[in-house]
Amino acid sequence: MVAGTLFTYPGSFRGFKSQIAANFSGVALKTVELKETEKRPQVPCFESDDKKFNLIDSNAIAYYVASEEMRGTTAEAKAQVLQWISYGASSVITPVANWVYPTLSLVESCQPGMAKAQSEVRSVMGYLNDYLKTRTYLVGERLTVADISLACDLLLAYRHVADEQFRKPYGNVNRWFTTVMSKEQSKKVVGDLNLCVKAAEFCADKFEKRMEKFKAANQQKEKKAKEPKAPKEAKPKAAKKEEPEEEPEDDFATDEPVSKDPFATMPKGTFNMDEWKRTYSNEDTLKVALPYFWKHFEENTEFYSLWFCEYNYPEDLSKVFMTSNLIGGMFQRIEKLRKNSFSNMGVYGVDSKNTIAGVWFWKGQDLVFPMCTDWTTDYESYTWKKLDPKSPETKKLVEENWQWEGEVKGMKFNTGKTFK
């Protein structure tokens, strides 16, 4: 019998998943809503009453508190449930957030980025609409945790930006979503279902006030950190050699105490990777971001390099969203490479005929993946080619890929993910 506590933030769609699943399963899940100032390693998180079992992933918690029936009654159904949960995590949450959060003035508005996110949400809705044409639920004839999880992933869009005009082409998805969210077990958690009437819009004043509050909080933290601390009482032991106080450029030591930052000994150059990523995220790609990149890269070709990769086993790929999941999994496994690299990895083609290809930019002149054992899981599944930065072919390839355009072996760009 499940016995434990869910720690979540008020109104968190991630926390909603576990609460709704618990309601359907008859589980008395205790819920503690944290304030923004209350920090835990990961939220939502679950802690058993005996403190011996913990979970830090919203989907894992929802799956744990769900009944056996809601997890799927056969091996095939269980696999489908996990498939749809994974689809939401890899292909739905990010574009929804990238569209919704700027409209709520939680982050700065970027029209190209929001347009891209909206396009991705339309792709998701179109795919789901076709799938649900002859189905009431995602798996089988009964509601499962897959329906709860994916509906919660779409909740912010339905509440804040997916107005009637946007929803109109996706009748099957709308029917399924309202069916899931109108259940009494769901309404107890999320309240009455109020679909978006008018899409929210970015408010510069609201965003500015939020940033001022954030800066003030940070300044207060810095002030406290600089306050002198009482000296520790001296111990009657031989003095030890003092350790340097500087932190490493990347926190490789956090998970691997004996490993070092593989980029630490490389010349730094003058290319500002963080500034480039902000420019790419917030400015027009063709008119602003790409000219910025070429200008600064040309000054740093001895310190950085461009690479093209292509998946070696396209015959094994089927659905586009599953192919996209492969990219997401790779990105998760090379997280520590993020600070010193940038990439767009695209899915080219359609269901049953697609492949993966991408253009990468990173520090150094060699293939980076063998430099760290954490990065070697996926790279051998791709063919890697170093690009000549002076070649017109390279410039065309880079600009098409980073604008989410172009084609590979006759297959046009479909969708993709950015590693930044």
pLDDT band at 39 (very low <50, low <70, confident <90, very high): low
- The pTM of the full predicted model, rounded to 2 decimals, is 0.57
pLDDT tens sequence across 297-326: 999 999 999 999 999 988 888 888 888 888
Listed range (41-45, 122-126, 294-298, 415-419) with the worst mean pLDDT: 41-45
Cα separation, 300 vs 405, in Å, equals 26
Average pLDDT over the chain, rounded to an integer: 86
The string over 305-332, giving b where at least 16 C-beta atoms fall within 10 Å of a residue's C-beta and e elsewhere, is: bbbbbbbeebeebeebbbbbbbbbebbe
Report pLDDT for 279: 92
pLDDT band at 223 (very low <50, low <70, confident <90, very high): low
H or E element: which one contains 360? strand 353-363
Query: Order of strands across the sheet with 411-419?
Result: 382-386, 304-311, 353-363, 341-350, 411-419, 407-408
pLDDT band at 218 (very low <50, low <70, confident <90, very high): low
Which carries the bigger pLDDT value, residue 250 or residue 383? 383
- Judge: domain 4-66, CATH 3.40.30.10: yes
pLDDT tens sequence across 281-290: 888 999 999 9
pLDDT band at 214 (very low <50, low <70, confident <90, very high): low
* DSSP state at residue 197: S
Beta strands in 157-290 (DSSP E): none
H or E element: which one contains 77? helix 75-87
- DSSP, collapsed to helix, strand or coil, labels residue 388 as coil
pLDDT tens sequence across 151-192: 999 999 999 999 999 999 999 999 999 999 999 999 999 999
Q: Are the beta carbons of 343 and 273 closer than 8 angstroms?
A: no
Domain ranges of the chain: 4-66, 72-190, 273-419
Report pLDDT for 37: 57
At the topology level of CATH, where does 72-190 sit?
Glutathione S-transferase Yfyf (Class Pi); Chain A, domain 2 (1.20.1050)
Architecture field, domain 273-419: 2-Layer Sandwich (3.30)
Residue 277 has pLDDT above 50, yes or no: yes
Structure tokens at 341: 């690299």
Question: How many Cα atoms are found within 13 Å in the side-chain-facing hemisphere of 295?
Answer: 9
